[in-house]
A and B are shown apart, each in its own frame.
Chain A
């Protein structure tokens, strides 16, 4: 039933496009976050052309293969797809229930929690190059990473779990028939 619902939503070009755009955007943010400093630096150098910066950014997409573990690269892609799916389903659902009051607290909390958790797991946790390690180090707890079995990548997996749950909730809502009760 849920697969059928997904088919109905994603068969529509508008929602399929929204899904691809959101997923690509989230994936791009995840890949480019470590390189924000470099891109900003190049932007400040007036002699560097926009084309050169765009070429560099295109090349930096390759860091998904070099700057991530196989596990973190995999869940980064999955998180991007799941988040794209969530936004798309949400848009579809909101349109279908327009003007009807509803409660999306659990969907929103799970989805946003999944995204945050997923971002925490991104990157080279074992070498301290990304969000989680930066935050832990900020609070003097960088050594915690060494104690985590997957060096912080657990957060990516938790993110996937939360996003899957959020998607499940929203598909269930889309599927829920509008019935009258006495």
Chain B
């Protein structure tokens, strides 16, 4: 007689399998984190659908200096700046947009924090529309300045269905009208392709700073130290990070 037959097996099989799994995930993180995202940029304006590939530095210190050319909400000279690279069709950007508005409600009036909005349309995930809305927001800014940009941007994130489900043919003209912009001049700008390079530069800078997806943000502290903010972090975490940055002074 013998006990129910069970095949002989290596006792290290399970621990080895778990280690392999861990190594697999770690490798994915390592390679995913060190390589720049080769985001393809379909401009929709007869431009090649390939982005310029920046140097794969992946350091938040590569964040382009904030200038008056940027779209800034709050005090441009605020000691703490949160530079967000965003995609208008990303659901988590929509969520983080609300969070950032809450941050500005709390820290904007006192001039402690400024919110800088830069473009990071993910063409591979949200083809055509994300890029088109990014262009539209730039055209709104060109015609109506910073106020028009934020009115357009806040308005778009309010109504977008995200993930390329938004009817931009209806929504963009509506937002242009609400912002009090000239429709014909807006259309000329929108179709000109004049902001394609600007958007590509934003994307390139997002990637240079380590952005692999959206929303991607870099917080710049009073002493110039930078902090990577990956994804739609909750308000409490952003507040804690602001507190840390303030203490660094």
Spell out A's residues near B (CB within 8 Å).
33-38, 41-42, 45, 47-48, 52, 55-56, 59-60, 62-63, 65-67, 69, 90, 100-105, 107-109, 111-112, 115-116, 119, 123-124, 126-131, 133-135, 137-138, 140, 142-143, 145-146, 151, 176, 178-182
User: Is B20 touching A112 in the complex (CB atoms < 8 A)?
Assistant: yes
Shortest beta-carbon distance, B215 to chain A, in Å?
7
User: Is B29 touching A131 in the complex (CB atoms < 8 A)?
Assistant: yes
User: Is A59 touching B90 in the complex (CB atoms < 8 A)?
Assistant: no
Query: Which residue from B6, B91, B96, B122 sits with its C-beta under 8 Å from A128?
Result: B122
By a CB distance below 8 angstroms, the chain A residues around B24 are: 116
Q: Is B92 an interface residue (CB 8 A)?
A: yes
User: Is B228 touching A38 in the complex (CB atoms < 8 A)?
Assistant: yes
User: Is A181 touching B1 in the complex (CB atoms < 8 A)?
Assistant: yes
Q: Compute how far the CA of A131 lies from the CA of B247 in the bound complex, rounded to whole angstroms.
A: 33
Given contacts A127-B87, A129-B230, A146-B124, 8 further A-B contacts (CB under 8 A): A41-B228, A62-B234, A102-B9, A116-B25, A127-B214, A145-B125, A151-B125, A181-B4
By a CB distance below 8 angstroms, the chain B residues around A128 are: 37, 122, 124-125, 212-214
Q: Is B33 an interface residue (CB 8 A)?
A: yes
By a CB distance below 8 angstroms, the chain B residues around A107 are: 14
Contact with A along B4-29 (1 / 0, CB 8 A): 11111100011001101100110011
User: Is B122 touching A63 in the complex (CB atoms < 8 A)?
Assistant: no
Interface residues on B, range: 35 or more
For residues 178 through 229 of chain B, which have their beta carbon under 8 Å from a beta carbon of chain A? 210, 212-216, 225-229
Query: Which residue from B1, B9, B90, B230 sits with its C-beta under 8 Å from A34?
Result: B230
> With A38-B228, A116-B21, A126-B90 given, is the CB distance from A108 to B213 under 8 Å?
no
Q: Is B104 an interface residue (CB 8 A)?
A: no
Shortest beta-carbon distance, B242 to chain A, in Å?
11
Shortest beta-carbon distance, B28 to chain A, in Å?
5
User: Is B228 touching A103 in the complex (CB atoms < 8 A)?
Assistant: no
Query: Which residue from A37, A59, A111, A179 sits with its C-beta under 8 Å from B234?
Result: A59
User: Is A112 touching B18 in the complex (CB atoms < 8 A)?
Assistant: yes
By a CB distance below 8 angstroms, the chain A residues around B32 are: 131, 134-135, 137-138
User: Is A104 touching B14 in the complex (CB atoms < 8 A)?
Assistant: yes
Query: Which residue from A66, A69, A131, A135 sits with its C-beta under 8 Å from B233?
Result: A66
User: Is A127 touching B213 in the complex (CB atoms < 8 A)?
Assistant: yes
